[in-house]
Structure 1
Amino acid sequence: MDTAPIVTIRALNHWFGDGAARKQALFDINLRLEPGSFTALVGPSGSGKTTLLTLIGCLRMVQDGSLRLLGQELHGASGAQLVAMRRRLGFIFQAHNLHESLTAGQNVMMGAQVDGGVRHDRATLAAHHLLGLVGLAGRVDYLPANLSGGQKQRVAVARALVGNPDLLLADEPTAALDRNSASDVVDLLRRIGSARGMTTLLVTHDTRILDRADRILTLEDGRIVGEEDRQGKG
């Protein structure tokens, strides 16, 4: 069994802008995400949480330092390499980003067919299976307009998981949900992630869900300033 870290970051720095407008957003970030772990990243708005998430998610180029994802160094990676790595990841955002003209099942199928490598029949089976896992077996043919906020986010969870990603990155996935829906979504991520051995990094301001995390990292002004290991705690 491979026990190498899913993510290893060393001395990572990041800037936005050029010249006199250049501003540093991340400072000397060092971080490891172990296989199967569930980590919450917290901190005030503007602290760099989403910037770090997008770097790990291959949505930005690494400028300075080392970021190894699934054994591959991303500093100096080409655009094509970043695209290939993104296909091994799952993404969930605060806005569910569902296509309003497509059913729940069709939205999830899009996640399976994003690279054109999954046949339609297999994508259909995978979509129905995932929607069943997230408690929406009876909503496969529903349009988003006929789903509640919590149900829409569960469809987004199914879409993110349909490709069986090694790493799931979630940016404020419960911010727009009520307490019960937020708990349901995070419990789903924990249960399915544990069953699949998937690693999860969740950016959140939602204190209601922090007790689900194995580890809580605090980011302030672009620096990791705190870490709480919650494994083994009730």
Structure 2
Amino acid sequence: MDSKHPIAARNLNHWFGTGEARKQALFDINLEVELGSLTVLVGPSGSGKTTLLTLLGCLREVQDGSVDLLGHELHGASGALLTALRRRLGFVFQAHNLHNSLTARQNVVMGLQVHGNLPAEQADAAASHLLGLVGLGDRLDYLPANLSGGQKQRVAVARALVGNPDIIFADEPTAALDRVTSANVVALIKRLGRERGTTTVMVTHDNRILDQADRIVTLEEGRIVKSIDANA
């Protein structure tokens, strides 16, 4: 990996199933993601967007081809290396995956636990700060049952960001958010990219946020058919 590209996929192929049921999901994917950028993956359902995201984020085993993530090859990587790399990543999924028995702040604090034993006061302060940035400063001690769907998703975004990850992988993070909140969440992610060098890869069907992307990559039937540099 060169210093400009924390993610690089080369000749990446992927299959699901075995035997006669085996079906190829990705075909010869070549993609470089620039440091600090917001790269958005778009395309119809079933085009391979989420499969690609999970391969780049070491959530799925690389079968064929190469993925270089933060200077480490994922094809054939050990479990220990994959675990270490995941600690440097933040994940946001359409399903917010919050713990129902924990408050918003406690859910965000959980995002810090993979980084070691941070003093409780410091962890609470960091979680409160991030929740304030996503517009939930007045909901710190609310349980998920008392939050709307959009508010739960903003808690999930704060949890992904609180550990100051090198890379954020987001799958439909704005699906449950209104237009203004969607724009604010994506703007926050972009600002972190500028200020901290945080790189983001996002799958979305939300055309409202495409104008904030640095690059828009279109997939169809498991292939990249278009890649547009919005800054060119």
Aligned to 1:82: 82
Aligned to 1:176: 176
Task: State the 1:56 CA deviation.
Answer: 0.8
Q: Deviations over 1:25-57 (max 9, x none)?
A: 110000001110111100111111110000111
CA distance in 2, matches of 1:13, 1:119: 43
Task: State the 1:88 CA deviation.
Answer: 0.5
| Letter of the structure 2 residue corresponding to residue 45 of structure 1 | S
- The 4+ residue runs of structure 1 with deviation greater than 4 A are none
| Letter of the structure 2 residue corresponding to residue 195 of structure 1 | E
Q: Deviations over 1:96-148 (max 9, x none)?
A: 11112111100000110135443333322221221122222222111122223
CA distance in 1, matches of 2:67, 2:94: 25
CA distance in 2, matches of 1:193, 1:132: 18
CA distance in 2, matches of 1:22, 1:50: 18
Greater mean deviation of Cα atoms: 186-195 or 66-75: 186-195
| Letter of the structure 2 residue corresponding to residue 194 of structure 1 | R
Q: Is the 8 A contact 1:93 1:173 kept in 2?
A: yes
Q: Is the 8 A contact 2:37 2:190 kept in 1?
A: no
What are the equivalent positions in structure 2 for 1:76-155 lying under 5 Å apart?
Answer: 76-114=76-114, 116-155=116-155
| Letter of the structure 1 residue corresponding to residue 7 of structure 2 | V
| Letter of the structure 2 residue corresponding to residue 67 of structure 1 | V
1:230 and 2:227 correspond: no
RMSD: 1.5
Task: State the 1:6 CA deviation.
Answer: 0.6
Residue ranges of structure 1 left out of the alignment (5+ in a row): none
CA distance in 1, matches of 2:147, 2:193: 24
TM-score by length of 1: 0.93
Q: Is the 8 A contact 2:173 2:204 kept in 1?
A: yes
Q: Structure 1 pair 105/113, CA: closer, same or farther in 2 (3 Å)?
A: same
TM-score by length of 2: 0.94
> How many residues are paired up?
231
| Letter of the structure 2 residue corresponding to residue 112 of structure 1 | L
CA distance in 2, matches of 1:208, 1:59: 28
Aligned identity (percent) is: 71
Aligned to 1:205: 205
Aligned to 1:35: 35
Greater mean deviation of Cα atoms: 29-38 or 193-202: 193-202
| Letter of the structure 2 residue corresponding to residue 145 of structure 1 | A
CA distance in 2, matches of 1:98, 1:183: 22
